Amino acid sequence: MGAVYRQLSITERRRIERWRHAKVPVDEMARVLKRCRPTKIRELKRNYFTDENMPKGYGYYGAAAQLMTADRRVQNVS
């Protein structure tokens, strides 16, 4: 049987968002959330928000990350 992974919650994603805006290092985020560093790096990379219509609104946002993750899960099930 494979390893069981716990998905990031919306609360964790919002904390990451606040820390990202405060320029907290990824290592510190991982330590506080008790997650490995690569998990944080993948999270920030996969769920980076961009929109042509909002060129100054790019970045990592917890709520947007949660929606993107949910969309990917639905696409993988189909």
pLDDT (tens digit per residue) in 39-51: 999 999 999 999 8
pLDDT class of 78 with cuts at 50, 70, 90? low
Report d(CA 59, CA 4) in Å as an integer. 29
Report d(CA 60, CA 35) in Å as an integer. 18
Averaged pLDDT of the chain: 91
Q: Which is more confidently placed, 71 or 75?
A: 71
Smallest CA-to-CA distance from 66 within 15, 3, 4 is with: 15
Query: 0.95 exceeded by the pTM?
Result: no
Checking if the pLDDT of 38 tops 90, the result is yes
Over residues 21-37, mean pLDDT: 95
Give backbone dihedrals phi and psi of 59, rounded to 5 degrees, phi first.
145, -170
Assign residue 55 a region (left: φ > 0; alpha: ψ between -120 and 50; beta: otherwise).
Answer: alpha
